[in-house]
Each structure stands twice: as structure tokens, then as C-alpha cells.
Amino acid sequence: MLTPTYYLVLSALVFSIGAFGVLVRRNPLIMFMCVELMLNAVNLTFIGLAWGLNDIGGQVSVFFVMVVAAAEVVVGLAIVVAIMRRRDGATADDLSVLRG
Amino acid sequence: MINFVYLIPLFPLLGCVTLMLVGKKMGEPSAGYFATAASGLSFIATVVTFFGLRALDVEERQVTKTLFEWVPAGNFSANAGFLVDPLSVAMLLFITGIGTLIHLYSVGYMHGDENFSKFFLYLNMFIFAMSILVLGDNLLLTFLGWEGVGACSYFLVSFWFSEEKNAMAGKKAFITNRVGDWGFMVATFLAFASIGSIDYLTINGTAAQLSTPVLAAMVLLLFVGVMGKSAQFPLYLWLPDAMAGPTPVSALIHAATMVTSGVYLLTRVNGLVYEALLHAQWVTNIIAWVGVGTAFFAATIAIAQTDIKKVLAYSTVSQLGYMVLAVGSGVFVAAIFHMITHAFFKALLFLGSGSVIHGMDNDQDMRRYGGLRKLLPITSATFIIGWLAIAGVPPFAGFWSKDEILLSAWELGGINGKLLWFFGLITALMTGFYMSRQVFLTFYGDYRFGDPDKDEVDQAWDGYIAHAEAEKDEAITAREAAATKLEEANVAVESRNVAFAKAQMEVTQTTSEDDLAKAQKALDTASGALEKAEAGVVSAQDELTAASALVDVKDQAVSSVKSEAARRVEPEPGEQRTAGAASDFLPDAVAKRAEHHPHESGWQMATPLVILAFLSIVGGVIQLPFTSEVHFLENWLEPALTFEHKFASSAGTKVALAVVAIIAGAVGIMAAVSVYLRNQGDPAKIEKQILFDGWGYDRAVTAFMGGPGAKMFDAITWLDANIVDGMVNGTGSLVRGTGSTVRRFQNGLVRSYAMSITLGSIGLLVWFVVRIAA
């Protein structure tokens, strides 16, 4: 019998992979992908619980997350492209001009 | 018509702003006439307001006109509102009226000054500030005007600031007044804390509910402010120095108007003062005693002053003391009455002295005046009227008001009241004396402006003695030269003698004819030279004798000059102190004065003098003591006063007191007549140095403030710099230190931020789990 628990476990795994990726990788693009993994893991919990609790609210929330994620990717990629034009092969650790 | 009250401060404000913008362009004299017009319009607005107020019923004659809410702050509120009542209108009438006259006078007085328009700018600003002070319906608005007139006073005292002395006098006035302002401010805070309002009507209305200590504190703190502004002991120091300003300023600000604002303030809060009189009489006794003490003290100093304006300055301090005495006795009508008559005759006296100073080439030393009665006819006639008014001669204005104050002191009853009355009476006697002295020195006696004064005679004799001694030294040098010459001549005779003997020997020893003739010739030459040398000795001897005789003559001359100088400088009774033979050695200033011709002032200066003289004669009619119908001022002021004071003494007592006061004044005048007019008695015995120095009080304060006082202020400065600033700066450095520690976490590395977020999330998660589990 398929219960929400499976989905929750899966999404926890995916979230952890994403978070780990954000923490250890330095390439901004890869970090972005990892962030997407984390967002989609959250989406998965929404869907899983919406299904399990028979509540439409979770599915609606997913749409919000997707819209926000899309917007965030647009802004984020634009920043990455702008940085790449100015300097070659910058990693996330090189971009520390905002330090206090 | 009461709505016209807004115009009273508006006109001088507009005048002031206009002069600020285009005053320089207007130039002389239009800037002066413009300012006079602004002040005059303000006077007309006051008259209109006066009639508007008179048209109301007596009970309604206290109108508050609010412009806007000025300071709304929590449950504190202060309006920019004008309290139009008989008291404020009576004040404004003489402030704007006399102010206008003094504006006109200044057009003549400031003629040729390079900052002509700036002077009138300040005068208009002063009228504006003074009207705000008087009209303000709460302590804060009055304080605004109070500081405004203080600032104008500062500007005008040091108007000729290029001289160090004048600039210092301005600073002294300003700083001394700050001490008084402290009292005013704390009293305002106290009023808000205890009553919850700083409106005069509320304060006077609720005064009866205040506890006695709060009441006493409030009245005394306000009185500290009064001591500063109205120049009472111990803060009167600044007023005599304020005479450094132009004379119209002394007349307007430092005699007629601003200095009376302290007395006005106490009358404004008469409800408070009256409660103090009922329940804490020691407070009003302090006020009365400070008043009469100041009056007495200043009068003693005025006796010995030589500067015409300084006499009037100390006289002003003394008269203000009378007003404060009246307030301390609880008779506010008498205080306001004397304030008004004093404004008339003191403004007149100051303007008259200004006219004298103007005519006498800016010399202010009375000892150099004399006999100006014929040379300055208008000035002297009006000045004499002012003198009679201040000396308390009936029926001039000063008599009525001073009499009323003495009566109110007497009616305090007991030994206290009698003593206050007695000191007031002695002061009246001294007033008669020093004012008569001033008039006699200035307008009577011989014209002596070209005569040298004491110091100049000393200087001349010193010069003469030095000259004689120099001549003697010269003679001694000549004698020494002659002696040297004689010695040289003797030496010459000696050597010629030797030569002659040698030539003689030659003649006797020579055998050859040729040689004999030659030797004979040499012998002749030698004998000629010897004769000549001997003649030289004789003439040198004669020269020496003559030189020695000259030295003796000069020596005698020196001692005779010295003895004559001693006799002239400290003459026997009946002899004049003169420069005599030493007159060639007088300073150039004397010759310059001798060539000066005094001149009467122009119409701009004469007109105000005449008007003020008229007012000084008839000013007493506003409050005649005979029946209650002729108590015009008292009946008029009644709505503004919390209670009505009625003199309880019988008509007989009143007449007796008046007669005693007249006699006291007359004694003072007669004493001055005998000393200064008939020269019976030595003025030096009266004009003691210690009086001239103001009992050394000013010097003592200066010494204290420069010495131990300065250390105290250093300590306070240290406290401010380290403790107070330390707290403020400490807050700053705390934030800064925290920031520099925390900034290290802001390293710009995205991944480390992500790490922090992750760790934080995990921490929160753990916390939630633990909480749920527990």
C-alpha cells in the first residue's frame, strides 16, 4: 500500500542531496540546480501530503512555488551571465565582494 | 477692535525684515524714518486695541487671542496666543509710544554712523520681541520674547563692537542674564509639573491650590529670572556696563522697557505672588528686601560716579529696586505706576544725557561739563524737568509713584514694613542728592570744558617737573664740560711753560749770531703761546663759574617747581587746583576740548525730549491718591489683578508720609546745592573711591569667576566632557564594537551563509523535536 511516508522519505532524500550540493559545490550553475532540487523536494512533500490528506491546498501551493522558482531562476541566471561576462570562470567563492 | 492686536508685533517684525533685506539701500536717513514709522504704526495699533478693550465690560477685559497651537507634546501644550488685558495693553502703550520717540531721536543721534540701518533693524527687532514678551499668554511665549529682547540688548550694547570694551560689555550682559534665565526656565518646568499648564490665567487661577513649598519655589525661581532681567542684586552687574551701547539704546532697553520686564513678569503672575504673600510671607519679604537693598546700594554707588551715563545706570538699578519693593509688598499697581512714570522720566534723562554727550564731542565725564544751561537750552530745560521728576518733587510724575511705593511698604506693618519704608526713604534722599549733583555739575557752574581735569593737571605738573630736571641735567653736563676745558687749559699752560723755559735756555747757551737770532725768535713765539694759554685758562675759569651758577639756578628752579606742583596738586582750602605755570605741558586733548563749541541737537532729538518732559510733568495724573475715582490706573488694571489692594492708612498718615518723603527729597537736593552749587564742603569727602568702585563688588565677582570660580567651571566642564559625553559616546562605541565583532561573519561567501542557514534550520528542527517529545 502506497502511503505519504514514501513520498516524504523520498523528498527528504532529494532535499538533502540538494542542500549538500549547495554547500559543497562552487560552480554557481550547479548550485542553482541544487536549489531547484530542494524546491522540488518541497513540492513533492506538498503533492504527497495533498494526495494523502485529500486536500487540494497542497497542490495549489506547488503552483506558487513553481512560479516563484521560475522567477528566481530568471533573476539568478541573469546575474550569473552578467558575472561571467565580466570575469572568466568565477566560482561562488570568488564572488565575495559583499563581505563586511 | 481687539483683533488688531496681531498688528502690534507685526509692524516692527515687517520693519525689521525689510531693513534686513534692503536697509543698506535705503541708507540714511530713510531707513531711520522707515523704522520709526513701523514703530509708530505699532503704537497706533496699541491705541486701537486699548480703545477696543475699553469698550468691553470690565469683567470681560481679559481676552486670549490664539494664533495657533505652538507646542503640542503629549499632555503639554503651549499656544502662540496673546493675552490682551489691561496690564499688557498698559505696558504696550508706553513701550511702543516711548519706543517710537526713541526711534525718532536715534535718527539724529546715529547720524553719520556707518551701520545706520543696522541700528534701526535691531531697534525694530527689539520692539517686536518686547511686544511678544508682554502679549504672550503663557510662560513659554513670554520666555521667547524674554530671550529675544536679551539678544537685541546684546546686539545693541556691543553695537560699536570694534572696541574691545563694548564687545565685553555685551557679553557680560548676555551671560549674566543666562543665570536669571535658568530660574525662569526651572519655574516654567515646575509650573507644568505641579499645575499641568503654563498659561497665566490657569496659573493665577489655581495658585490657591498649590502646596506652600511648591508655591514658594516657583515664586523664588521666577524672582531669580527677575534679578537677571531687572538688574537686582546680586545680578545687577551687567546694567552699568551696558552703558557702552549707544545712548538711545540705554534709554529704550536699559531704562524704560526691557529691564522692567522682570517686574512685569511678577505682576503677570500676581496670583502666585499674592498667595505667597498670604501663606509664605518670607518669600515676598525676600523680594521686598532685595528690592529695597538694591535701591539703597545702587543709590550709594550713583553718588560717586563721574560718567554721566553711569549715574543714570545706577539710578535705574535703584528705581527698579523700588518697583521690586512694591511687588514684594503686594501692591502691583504701585509697581506698574512707577514703571510707567520711570519710563517717562528715565527715558527723558537718558535722551537728555545723549544730547549732552552728542553736543560735547562724545565726552561723558561730568567733571568736565558745567554751565551748559545756556549752551544747550532745550536739553537742559527738559533734563531739569526729568531731575525734578526723579527726585520726587511734587507735582512731577515721580513723586506720586514713589510715594505710593513707600506707602505700600509702610502698610506691610510691623517693624519689617517700617524698616523697608525707612530704607526706601533714605534712598529717596540719596536720589535727590545724586541727581542734583549730576544736574549741577552738568548744567550749572562755570563752563569748564576746556579746563584740565585732575589727571590732566597731574600730568601737566609731572611734565613740567621732568622738563625742569632735564634742564638741570643739561646745566650739570655743561659744568662738567667747562671743568674738563679748564683742566685742558691748565695742561696747555704747563706744556707752554716747559717750551718757554727750553727756548730761554737755548738763548743763553747759543753763541753764534745766526743761531741767536733764530733762538730769540723761537723764544718770542713760545712766550706768545704761553700768554695765549694763560688767557685760555682765565676764560675757562670764567666759563666754569658761569656754568656752576647756572646749575645752582636750575637746581633752585627744580625745587621751586616741585613745591609749587605739590601746592597746586593738593591745594590749600580755598585755592584752585590748576595747571598754572605748567599749562604748556597739558595733554593735547585739553586744547582740543577748549576749541570745541557745544551745540544743541537737531529737531529729531529735541522733539522726543519735549514730549517726554511733558509726560514727566503730568504723568502722575494717571493715578492720583486723593479719591478712588482718580485712581485711574488702579481701576484700569483691576481686571488683570487677582485681588484688589486698598490702602488702609488714614488720610492723615498718608499726608504725613508724603510730607516726610518730600522733606527727604528736599534735604538731598539742598545738600547737593551746598556742596556742588555753593562750593561749601569738599566733594571728595562724599565721592569716596569705594563708592566709585561700587563697593568692590564687581571686582570681587570678577576675581572669583577668574580664580576659584573658573576651577569650579573647569570641574563642571570635566564632568560634562567625561560623564555626560562619556555616556553618549559610550553608547556609540558599544554599537561600534559589537559591529566590528559581528562583521566577521559577513564574509561574502555564499556557501558559508548557506551553511549558517542549514545549521540554524537543523538547530530549530532539533529544538522542535525536543519540545514535542517533552
Nearest by CB to A100, which of B743, B751, B755?
B743
The answer to whether residue A75 is domain-embedded is yes
Rounded to the nearest angstrom, the minimum Cα separation between A20 and chain B is 10
Return the pLDDT at B573: 60
Three cell numbers written together for B3: 483683533
b vs e for B706-717, b when ≥16 Cβ sit within 10 Å of the residue's Cβ? eeeeeeeeeeee
- A97 touches B: beta carbon within 8 Å: yes
Q: How confident is the model at residue B457 (pLDDT cuts 50, 70, 90)?
A: confident
List domains and CATH numbers for chain B: 1-279 (no CATH), 454-593 (1.10.287), 709-773 (no CATH)
Contacts of B741 in chain A (CB under 8 A): none
Amino acid letter at B657?
L
Return the pLDDT at A83: 84
Q: Is the pLDDT of residue B121 over 60?
A: yes
The answer to whether residue A26 is domain-embedded is yes
Q: Which of B317, B170, B346, B319 is nearest to B252 (CA)?
A: B346
Nearest by CB to B758, which of A23, A26, A100?
A23
Instruction: For chain A, positions 13-52, list CB contacts with chain B under 8 A.
Output: 19, 22-24, 26, 31
Contact B409, B420 (CB under 8 A): yes
Residue-by-residue DSSP string for B48-106: HHHHHHHHS-GGG--EEEEEEEEEEETTEEEEEEEEESHHHHHHHHHHHHHHHHHHHHH
Q: Which residue has the higher pLDDT, B450 or B709?
A: B709
Report the number of secondary-structure helices (H) and strands (E) in chain A: 3, 0
Question: How many domains in chain A?
Answer: 1
Q: Which of B35, B38, B23 is nearest to B115 (CA)?
A: B23
Query: Helix B603-618 crosses helix B397-410 at what angle (to 10 degrees)?
Result: 40
Return the pLDDT at B362: 78
Kindly report, residue by residue over B308-361, the tens digit of the pLDDT: 899 999 999 999 999 999 999 888 999 999 999 999 999 999 999 998 888 887
- The interface predicted TM-score (ipTM) is 0.87
Kindly report, residue by residue over B366-398, the tens digit of the pLDDT: 888 877 888 888 888 999 999 999 988 888 888
Burial of B125 (0-12, 13-18, 19+ CB in 10 A): buried
Q: Which domain holds residue A75?
A: 4-86
Return the pLDDT at B146: 93
Return the pLDDT at B186: 94
Q: What is the mean pLDDT of each run of 10 residues along chain A (100 residues)?
A: 86 94 89 91 93 90 92 89 81 78
> Which of B738, B745, B746, B750 best probes binding to A when mutated, by most A CB atoms within 10 angstroms?
B750
Amino acid letter at B644?
E
Please compute the mean of the pLDDT values over residues B258-277 and round it to a whole number.
90
Rounded to the nearest angstrom, the minimum Cα separation between A90 and chain B is 13
Burial of B78 (0-12, 13-18, 19+ CB in 10 A): buried
> How many CB pairs (< 8 A) connect A and B?
34
Return the pLDDT at B575: 60
Return the pLDDT at B576: 63
The answer to whether residue A92 is domain-embedded is no
Cβ separation A19–B758 shorter than 8 A: yes
Q: Is the pLDDT of residue B628 over 60?
A: yes
- B741 touches A: beta carbon within 8 Å: no
Q: Which of B85, B94, B4, B84 is nearest to B48 (CA)?
A: B4
- A75 touches B: beta carbon within 8 Å: no
Q: Is the pLDDT of residue B3 over 90?
A: no
Return the pLDDT at B300: 92
- B750 touches A: beta carbon within 8 Å: yes
Q: Is the pLDDT of residue B53 over 80?
A: yes
> Which residues have CB under 8 Å from B608's CB, separation 6+?
B101, B102, B104, B105, B351
Q: Is the pLDDT of residue B580 over 80?
A: no
Q: HEC string of B229-275?
A: HCCCCCCCCHHHHHHHCCHHHHHHHHHHCHHHHHHHHHHHCHHHHHH
Burial of B576 (0-12, 13-18, 19+ CB in 10 A): exposed
The answer to whether residue A98 is domain-embedded is no
Contact B262, B328 (CB under 8 A): no
- Rounded CA-CA distance B19/B117 in Å is 7
Q: Is the pLDDT of residue B552 over 90?
A: no
Q: How far is the CA of B237 from the CAs of B5, B435, B626, in angstroms? A: 35, 21, 39
Rounded to the nearest angstrom, the minimum Cα separation between B730 and chain A is 23
Handedness of CA B368, B371, B374, B377 (dihedral sign): positive
Q: Is the pLDDT of residue B566 over 90?
A: no
> Which residues have CB under 8 Å from B304's CB, separation 6+?
B686, B687, B688, B689, B691, B692
> Which residues have CB under 8 Å from B329's CB, separation 6+?
B284, B288, B405, B408, B409, B411, B412, B417, B420
- Rounded CA-CA distance B102/B607 in Å is 10
Three cell numbers written together for B69: 497651537
What pTM was estimated for this model as a whole? 0.76
Handedness of CA B591, B594, B595, B599 (dihedral sign): positive
Three cell numbers written together for B123: 531697534
- Rounded CA-CA distance B594/B616 in Å is 35
Kindly report, residue by residue over B58-70, the tens digit of the pLDDT: 888 888 888 888 8
> Which residues have CB under 8 Å from B186's CB, separation 6+?
B221
The answer to whether residue A99 is domain-embedded is no
Nearest by CB to B751, which of A23, A98, A99?
A23
CATH number of the domain enclosing A20: 1.10.287.3510
Alpha helices in B510-573 (DSSP H): 513-569
Phi/psi at B79 (5° precision): -95, 150
Please compute the mean of the pLDDT values over residues B619-636 and round it to a whole number.
82
- Rounded CA-CA distance B265/B261 in Å is 6
Three cell numbers written together for B391: 527726585
Kindly report, residue by residue over B510-544, the tens digit of the pLDDT: 777 777 778 788 888 888 888 888 888 888 888 88
Three cell numbers written together for B533: 694759554
How big is chain B by its Cα radius of gyration, in Å? 40
Q: Which of B316, B222, B340 is nearest to B271 (CA)?
A: B222
Q: Is the pLDDT of residue B415 over 90?
A: no
